[in-house]
């Protein structure tokens, strides 16, 4: 396990609502990412109505849908999940770059934690490895990141 992965059991989020925005493109991969995120949330009793999953066509649509969820006022955090696999054209670079920039902007502009769960891989096997039912699942990691951020934000609020 990575030393940078959030540590389980150290979260104090209180009651929260989370939106999971997942791309349909590369569904075999993104379904695994969503399952990983939901598993992580469930381990911390964030289940049922506390998590809403929304699907968008592809990775490029993740920032706008994340922004819409953030602006709705219904959610304490957003998890953006997608997968872009390198091909033979520069399309990969454009989609990855703009999606990354957009997700970051949503988080800063909306003052809401938005987890970056976009796989940017060279091949299908790398994507499968990072979306399977294992400790490398990046959907699970994105969910844990959100729980850690919500805990830190709660600590910051208490420090005021």
The answer, as to whether pTM is greater than 0.75, is yes
Catalytic residue list contains 44 = no
pLDDT per residue over 98-151, tens digit each? 999 999 999 999 999 999 999 999 999 999 999 999 989 999 999 999 999 999
Closest to 50 in 3D by CA, of 157, 150, 135, 154 = 150
Query: Is the pLDDT score of 2 beyond 70?
Result: no
**Annotated binding-site residue? 88:** yes
The domains of the chain, with CATH numbers, are 18-154 (3.40.50.960)
**Annotated binding-site residue? 61:** yes
**Annotated binding-site residue? 21:** no
CA dist., res. 5 & res. 48, Å (int):
25
The vertex-117 CA angle with 116 and 121, nearest 5°, equals 115
Q: Which of 71, 91, 101, 135 is catalytic?
A: 91
**Annotated binding-site residue? 96:** no
């Amino acid at each position: 396990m990575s030393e940078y992965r959030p540590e389980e059991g150290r979260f104090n989020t209180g009651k929260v609502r989370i939106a999971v925005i997942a791309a349909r493109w590369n569904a075999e991969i993104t379904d695994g990412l969503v399952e990983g995120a939901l598993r992580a949330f469930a381990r911390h009793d964030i289940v049922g109505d506390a998590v809403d999953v929304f699907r968008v066509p592809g990775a490029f649509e993740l920032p706008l849908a994340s922004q819409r969820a953030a602006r709705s006022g219904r959610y304490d955090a957003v998890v953006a999940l997608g997968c872009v696999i390198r091909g033979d054209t520069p399309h990969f670079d454009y989609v990855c770059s703009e999606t990354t920039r957009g997700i970051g902007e949503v988080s800063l502009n909306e003052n809401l934690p938005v987890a970056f769960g976009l796989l940017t891989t060279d091949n299908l096997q790398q994507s499968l490895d990072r979306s399977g039912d294992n400790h490398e699942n990046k959907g699970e990691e994105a969910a844990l990141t959100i729980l850690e951020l919500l805990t830190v934000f709660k600590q910051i609020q208490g420090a005021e």
